[in-house]
Chains A and B, each alone.
Chain A
Amino acid sequence: MDHLSESLRLAAAEPPPSGIDLDGLIEGEDRARRHRQWFVAGGAAALVMVAVVATVAVAGGLVPRSAGYGVGGAGPAATSTKPDPGGQPEALGKCTAVLPTPTSTSPTDPGKRQVDNAPTLKPAPTEPRKEAILRLSTVLNRALPTVLPAANFADEVHPNCAQIQFAPDVYPALYYASMVVKDTAGVGSITVMISQAHEGAENDFGRGQDPGSGLYDSHEVRTDGTMVGWLSGAPGEGSQVGVLRKDGTYLTLLSQNENKPGDTNPIRPTPPATAEQLIAIGTDPGLTLYP
C-alpha cells in the first residue's frame, strides 16, 4: 500500500504553476448570478404580460377557449406528458421554432481543443438538421413508452414541447435530448446524445489493444456488428450506456436519479431506466445518423 501511495504522490509532485484565476472565477460567477436574477425577473414579467394579454383576449372573444398547442391541446404549460406512439410528426414540428441554433463551434474553430477535431469514421451526415431532428424525435417518442410504459416524460430542453425533441449540439456531437422522467418510484432524468463516432471509438468497448481498458464495465458485440457497452453501478447509481453502430453513429444514454441544485424531490432508490432499458432505446434501428 505504501509503495502505491508513494508512487501516486511522486506522480503528482512538482505541479506547474496553477492556471486557475480565482478572481476571474468569482467575478464570472457574480456576473452569472446577476444574469440569472435578471432572467428570472424578466421571465416573471413576461409571464405576467402573457397572462394579462391572454385574459384580455379570452374575455374579448378573440381566441376560442379550447385553443391550445401541442399534442391533444395540452395547453401552453404541458411539461409532463406521456409520449404518444402514434403522434403526428407535425406536432413535433411546432416546437422546432424554439430550437437553439448551433452557434459557437465549428469543426474549424481554431479556439477549440485539438481533441475535438479528431477525425470521425464517417463523413458528416447530409440530412438537413431540421429533418433529422424530426425523424430522430419521432423514433425516440415511439421507443420511450415501449421501453418504459409506466413513465411520464417532460422535455428539459424544450419545456413547451408536448413530446420529447432532439436539439442540435456542437460538433462533433450532433443531437441530444434530455428529459425529466416521472414514475411511481419518483423523479429522474434520461439523456440521449447522438454523435459521429470518433476515431478509435471501438476502444471504448474494449476492442483496443487492452480489452480491460474500455470505457464501460461490460460490453458486447451484437450479431449485426453493433457494439454495446454499459456501466451498471450499485443500486441507486445512475446507468450509462454506449452504442456504436456499424454505420458510424455513436449514442450515449444516461439515466440518473440525482437531483439538481434547488430540486426538492426525494432521491429515488433506482435510476428511471436500467442499463438494459437504455440499451433497448439506444439500439432502436431508427436512431441513426445515416438513415
Chain B
Amino acid sequence: MAADEMGYRDYVAHRMDGLRRTAYLLCGDWHMADDLVSTALVKLLRHWRRISVMEQPDAYVRRMLLRAWLDEKRRPWRREHATAVLPDRATAVADSAERLTILAHLAELPPRRRAVLVLRYFCDLSVAETAEALGCSEGTVKSQTARALDALRARLVSVPTMEE
C-alpha cells in the first residue's frame, strides 16, 4: 500500500465520526449524511497529496463537505419532499424528544443558516473559521448566526444571545 494511501486511510479513520455527525446535523438524515461524507472523501482522495501537507486539512475537508451539501440543496430535483410513507430510521426508537426537537428546528432553517449554527455551535469554529468554511465574509456569518438564533429562539427557550 502506498504511503499516500496509508496516510489517507489514517486521516479518514480519525475524522470519519466527526464528519458523519456534522453531515447529519446539516441534512438530518444518516443515509444522506453518509452520501455527503462519501462525496467529500472522494474529493479529498483526489487531492490528498496537496491537502495532506496543508496546515489545516480539516478546514478544507469541512469546506468540501459543506459544498457537497449546499450543491445538493441547490438542485431542485434532489430536494426532499413529503411522502405518504416514512422511511425506516435506524435510530428512530432511541431518539429523545429533545433530539427530535432540535433536528426539526434545524430543518426549518435555510441551508446556510443551518450550516452556520452547526459550524459554530457543534464544530466550535470561530466566526472567522466559519466564514472561511462557507466562503463568505465574517459579517455575513454574524448576521446569519443572529437570524438563525432568532428563529430558534422563537421556538426554544434556552438559546444564547449573540453576546454569549
Footprint of B on A, CB under 8 Å?
Answer: 1, 3-5, 7-16, 18-20, 22, 25-26, 28-29, 114-116, 118, 171-173, 193, 195, 198-201, 204, 210, 212-217, 231, 233-237, 240, 242, 250, 252, 254, 258, 261
Chain A: CB-nearest residue to B19: A20
Contact B98–A12 (Cβ < 8 Å): no
Contact B112–A231 (Cβ < 8 Å): yes
| Interface majority SS (helix, strand, loop, mixed), chain B | helix
Given A1-B164, A5-B122, A12-B24, CB of A18 within 8 Å of CB of B81: no
Q: State the CA gap A12–B99 with chains docked (Å).
A: 8
Q: Which of B9, B82, B151 contacts A212 (CB 8 A)?
A: B151
Given A29-B46, A215-B111, CB of A12 within 8 Å of CB of B74: no
Contact A200–B111 (Cβ < 8 Å): no
Max chain A Cβ within 10 angstroms of own Cβ: one of B8, B9, B31, B76: B76
Q: Tell me whether B102 is interfacial, beta carbon within 8 Å.
A: yes
Contact B41–A200 (Cβ < 8 Å): no
- List 5 other contacts, CB 8 Å, given A11-B102, A20-B41, A212-B110: A3-B159, A19-B34, A26-B45, A118-B81, A214-B110
Given A3-B159, A8-B102, A10-B96, CB of A215 within 8 Å of CB of B25: no
Contact B21–A12 (Cβ < 8 Å): yes
| Chain B window 81-94, contacts with chain A (Cβ cutoff 8 Å), 1 for yes, 0 for no | 11100010011001
Q: State the CA gap A8–B159 with chains docked (Å).
A: 12
Question: In the complex, how many angstroms separate the beta carbon of B71 from the nearest chain A beta carbon?
Answer: 10
Contact B76–A252 (Cβ < 8 Å): yes
Contact B81–A20 (Cβ < 8 Å): no
Q: Tell me whether B37 is interfacial, beta carbon within 8 Å.
A: yes
Q: Which residues of B contact A115 (CB under 8 A)?
A: 78-81, 83
Interface size of B as a range:
35 or more
Contact A252–B87 (Cβ < 8 Å): no
Q: State the CA gap A237–B135 with chains docked (Å).
A: 7
Q: Which residues of A contact B136 (CB under 8 A)?
A: 233-234, 236-237
Contact B25–A19 (Cβ < 8 Å): no
Contact A20–B38 (Cβ < 8 Å): yes
Q: Tell me whether B54 is interfacial, beta carbon within 8 Å.
A: no
Question: In the complex, how many angstroms separate the beta carbon of B80 from the nearest chain A beta carbon?
Answer: 5
Q: Tell me whether B118 is interfacial, beta carbon within 8 Å.
A: yes
Q: Tell me whether B16 is interfacial, beta carbon within 8 Å.
A: yes
Contact B25–A195 (Cβ < 8 Å): no
Q: Which residues of A contact B112 (CB under 8 A)?
A: 217, 231, 233
Contact A10–B79 (Cβ < 8 Å): no
